[in-house]
Amino acid sequence: MTSVQRLDFGYFLRPAEETDAGKARAEPCFGYLIDHPEGIVLMDSGMGQHPVVDEHYRPHRRPLEAALADVGHTVDDVQLVVNCHLHFDHCGGNPSLGGRPVITQRRELEEARTTPGYTLLELVDDPSIRYEEVDGEVELLPGILVVPTPGHTNGHQSLLARLRDGTVIVAGQSHDTASAFGADALAQQLGGHFASDVPQPPAWIERLMALDPRRVVFAHDQALWEP
């Protein structure tokens, strides 16, 4: 039976200039472990380290090994890695995963490598990392899909897991909060029958909702979305 468990990678302080409220806020950093009968999949691997990053975000990190131990697993148990995108706070533990396939959208990897200031290149180009680049939606294991959800980055992707009690979408940073996701889900449900000044939801929301999610979980929000 497939299950999804949250991993606690610590927190960081998002500075005021990066928040809608204009005030600094603490944000959790979560990954997710998908325990599937055919293998264990890790969605995101924690926060990388760099003096500039540490000064800007003042992170409190929990290592990948500790986060996995919380849910009764070790690094050796992980067979497949998915990064929702390649910013420092989502791929920090990749170098410690020693050659496991890392699934990334081709566009995400290209932009991470070529866009100045995009991420920590020493994380992305660590020689131990074995990327498997994909273009679009892919089924990794029976009932486990990656689905492109661009917005936060052009190559952002989410992970879908079909469980016995319904579908869970691990949305990464497709949205910063469950409430923001809920607003887009409602706008998609309304089908454009609302005031013209209400922003249109991203096109891929329709695809996610067609998968009939029972729960949607996020990288930086303790809350979850349910229909």
| Token couple for 10 | 């610590």
Tell me the backbone φ, ψ of residue 183, rounded to 5 degrees: -65, -40
Residue 6's DSSP bridge partners are 32
pLDDT of residue 196: 66
Task: Identify the three-state secondary structure at position 168.
Answer: strand
pLDDT of residue 99: 84
pLDDT of residue 50: 92
pTM of the predicted model, to two decimals? 0.94
pLDDT of residue 214: 96
List pLDDT tens digits, range 148-201: 999 999 999 999 999 998 999 999 999 999 999 999 999 888 876 666 667 789
pLDDT of residue 67: 98
Task: Identify the three-state secondary structure at position 43.
Answer: strand
CATH 3.60.15.10 at 3-217, yes or no: yes
Q: What's the burial of 106, exposed, middle or buried (CB within 10 Å: 0-12/13-18/19+)?
A: middle
